[in-house]
Amino acid sequence: MTNGVPFIDLKRFEPGFQQALMEKFAAMTSNAQFIGGNEIAELERRLQTVVSVQHAVTCANGTDALQLALRALGVGRGDVVLVPNVTFWATYEAVVNVGADPVTLDASLEDGGVSYAALEQALSQAKPKAAIVAHLYGWGSQQLAEIRELCRKHGIPLLEDGAQCFGATYQEQSIYKGALISTTSFYPAKVLGGAGDGGAVFTDDVGLADKVRRLANHGRTTHYGYGDVGWNSRLDALQAAFLNLSINHIDQRIASRREAAHFYQKVLPTLGLEVLSPSADYAENGYCNVCLVRDQGKKKALETALKDAGIGFGNIYPGVMSSQEGARVYNKGHFGGRDGEVLCASVLNLPLFPYMTHEELDRVVDVVRGALSN
């Protein structure tokens, strides 16, 4: 039986993957194919098909994707942007980095997304230039359709941070389909992860896509002509090659992740753990397991038992944006209550990654069972 189990294992590749990668890298380096070229074009074409959008623009990382999308929407200095209080820091700092003022929205304890009531109030009272939602944990808000419609009703563009939801479906279609503009991250730990940093912006709007592409390449209109002040956020060709090979296996990886996620969802509640799961409208991508342990003594004991047994775990995420030290001088308000704090204080994530073995899953559950029975 397996003893220790890592929180995530990035070394489990399909048979032949590494050999194919080395062969591709050797050919590319021999021909100095480093910037742009066929691998980038192929990746963007494949992404458009996989996520059901008309335009996919790759960039250097997921944080840049958010900043590019905000800039493309015309967000700039002094604009108010609504941002989830529960998300990764990049969602928040992207607003600050384009010169805008973040106003936080409370979370929903039902699905981890933003509170619909808080969003509705903020749209009416905060006079935002744009709003952001983050699709955490491998799915999205159970009210996603209503959130999109509410923003359209108010005439406020909605940016969807989809760094964690690649491969998830909503109402039997890609979660990215129907979004005005959305983003993803190819950080190695993501469902479609690269061999380093990378990101992309998705949209059906040709004007937004052209703006993003221009901003990501120094604002170029020609090689030495500049229509905007952008920056260098090009995805390099070697990363694109890695991702193109990974897309060949993405269905198998997601199926494996889902199997592990569903195992936890079935077994852990029988042990007395509260497990957060997507609504019936979603097929999650198996990005992570989400347990809520509201008793802090119980949570500490469980984390100690996991650590002692060599079982990796995470806390995605342990603190809200508005309480971060770096946010103090930038926060311009908050809408909703304090459910975000409850979520962050309670969240515990157990190991989940592609091709986990049944022995590993059983080992994790055995340690949890033992910790909860004491």
- DSSP label of 323: G
Which of 280, 347, 257, 333 minimizes the C-alpha distance to 85? 333
CA dist 139 and 262 (Å) reads 14
From the list 359, 354, 361, the residue with the least C-alpha distance to 8 is 354
CA–CA distance, 289 with 327 (Å, rounded to integer)? 28
| Domains by residue range for the chain, with CATH | 1-374 (3.40.640.10)
Q: What angle do CA 189, 190, 194 make, to 5 degrees?
A: 80
Question: Residue 141: enclosing H or E segment and its boundaries?
Answer: none
- Assess whether the previous peptide bond of 287 is cis (omega < 30° from 0): no
Q: What is the mean pLDDT of residues 172-188?
A: 98
Categorize the per-residue pLDDT at 1 as very low, low, confident or very high, splitting at 50, 70 and 90: very low
CA distance 57 to 214: 10
Helix ranges, the chain (H): 17-30, 38-51, 62-72, 89-97, 116-125, 144-154, 206-215, 237-247, 250-267, 296-308, 339-346, 358-373
Which residues, other chains included, contact 32 with Cβ-Cβ below 8 Å and sequence gap of 6+?
none
- Render pLDDT for 244-294 as a digit per residue (tens, 0 to 9): 999 999 999 999 999 999 999 999 999 999 999 999 999 999 999 999 999
Q: Are 73 and 42 in contact (CB under 8 A)?
A: no
Return the pLDDT at 200.
98
Q: How many other C-beta atoms are found inside a 10 Å radius of the C-beta of residue 340?
A: 30
Provide the sign of the torsion angle of the four alpha carbons 320, 325, 329, 330, taken in this order.
Answer: negative
pLDDT beyond 80 at 163:
yes
Tokens 């106003």 label which residue?
103
Planar angle of CA 307, 369, 361, nearest 5 degrees: 70
Model pTM score: 0.97
Q: Rounded to whole angstroms, how far apart are CA atoms 191 and 295?
A: 31
Q: What is the pLDDT of residues 14-45, one digit of tens each?
A: 999 999 999 999 999 999 999 999 999 999 99
Torsion-angle region of 91 (φ positive above 0: left; ψ -120 to 50: alpha; else: beta)? alpha
The continuous run of DSSP H or E covering 272 comes out as: none
Find where tokens 């699709």 sit: 135
For residue 282, whether the previous peptide bond is cis, meaning omega lies within 30 degrees of 0, is: no
Q: DSSP code of 13? A: P
How does strand 158-161 pair with strand 181-185?
Answer: parallel
CA dist 68 and 215 (Å) reads 7
Percent of the chain with pLDDT over 90: 99
Amino acid of residue 224: Y
Q: What pLDDT is attached to residue 88?
A: 98
pLDDT, tens digit (0-9, with 9 covering 90-100), for 201-246: 999 999 999 999 999 999 999 999 999 999 999 999 999 999 999 9
Which pLDDT score is estimated for 263?
Answer: 98
